[in-house]
A = this chain, B = another copy of it.
Amino acid sequence: MHQTKVRVAEDALDANTTIAHANRADFDRESVSVVNLMSAPGAGKTSLLEAVFRAGLGDVRPGVLEGDVQGSLDADRLSHLHVPVTQLNTDGGFGGECHLDANMVRTAIPALSLADIDLLVIENVGNLVCPAEFRVGEDVKAMVCSITEGEDKPLKYPLMFRTCDLVVVNKIDLLPHLDYDIDALLRNIESVNPGVRTMLTSARTGEGVDAFREWLVNVAEREGVPA
């Protein structure tokens, strides 16, 4: 009898990565660029998106997938700006998880109307640990770091800072009112993720929001996006 050589599957993927690839293929098919936006609770992800959407993204049609343990407070805020928003709650069948994973995002894809958007922002659950561990099919990861959280956060949550393509340092309008060394923060970011792009913003005053807006447009136009 002719014996067939057994082939060993290489690059065996965990289930999350497999599903993330499937998500990515769906996004690519519809030419949708995807940002996985992460932060600690209350760092200002939603406020920054509000500021960006108010200014507009030019020809780029944005959409948002809003991840929360429960409720839809942020989705309600964004939907007032006439941006299509889909709510994804981790306590609805996902055990109240502290992060989004590829399978949760996959369940939301049918609700997303991918044909009508160019840029999908996935606003992850507020948490500096687990969201960094799960790819969801994104092109790029970005995080918002509020200066009220202290300069030490890159050293305490290095995986989050290391995994991101952009670190937005927010609430800089509060700088005069804090004992805060922003150079120390930037040094700490650089030490865990050398060369990563950073920008300083205040969603409240609008300072720096244009730079974040332009970065998002570039992601949508797939300029300067890591392969």
The reply on A61 being an interface residue by CB < 8 A is no
* A56 on interface, CB distance cutoff 8 Å: no
Number of copies: 2
Q: State whether A42 and B126 are in contact (beta carbons under 8 Å apart), knowing that A69-B156, A71-B156, A156-B70 are contacts in the complex.
A: no
CB A43 to nearest CB in B, in angstroms, measures: 8
Complex interface: chain B residues within 8 A of A112 (CB): none
Quick one: which of B40, B97, B155 contacts A126, CB cutoff 8 A? B40
Known pairs A128-B126, A156-B70; A146 contacts B42 (CB<8 A): yes
* Of listed A70, A149, A153, A159, residue having the most chain B CB within 10 A: A149
Cα A126 to Cα B68 with chains together (Å): 17
Contacts of A84 in B (CB 8 A): none
Q: Does A18 contact B (CB under 8 A)?
A: no
Q: Give A76 Cβ to nearest chain B Cβ, in Å.
A: 11
Is A150 located at the chain interface by the 8 A CB criterion?
Answer: yes
Interface size on A, as a range, is: 35 or more
Candidates B42, B130, B204; contact of A179 at CB < 8 Å? B204
A206 located at the interface, meaning its Cβ lies under 8 Å from any Cβ of chain B in the complex? no
Which of B98, B152, B157, B174 contacts A130, CB < 8 Å?
B98
Residue among A98, A146, A178 with the highest chain B CB neighbour number at 10 A: A98
Q: Is the CB of A171 within 8 A of B157?
A: no
Chain B nearest Cβ from A59, distance in angstroms:
32
Contact A127 B155 (CB under 8 A): no
Contacts of A186 in B (CB 8 A): none
**A73, A97, A127, A177: residue with the most chain B Cβ atoms closer than 10 Å:** A127
Instruction: Let me know if A125 is at the binding interface, CB within 8 A.
Output: yes
B residues in contact with A40, CB < 8 Å: 40-42, 126
Given contacts A40-B126, A148-B171, 7 further A-B contacts (CB under 8 A): A41-B153, A42-B149, A71-B155, A96-B129, A127-B128, A148-B148, A177-B177
Q: Can you report 10 A-B residue pairs in the complex whose CB atoms are below 8 A from each other?
A: A40-B40, A41-B156, A42-B146, A42-B148, A42-B149, A73-B152, A96-B159, A98-B127, A125-B129, A148-B148
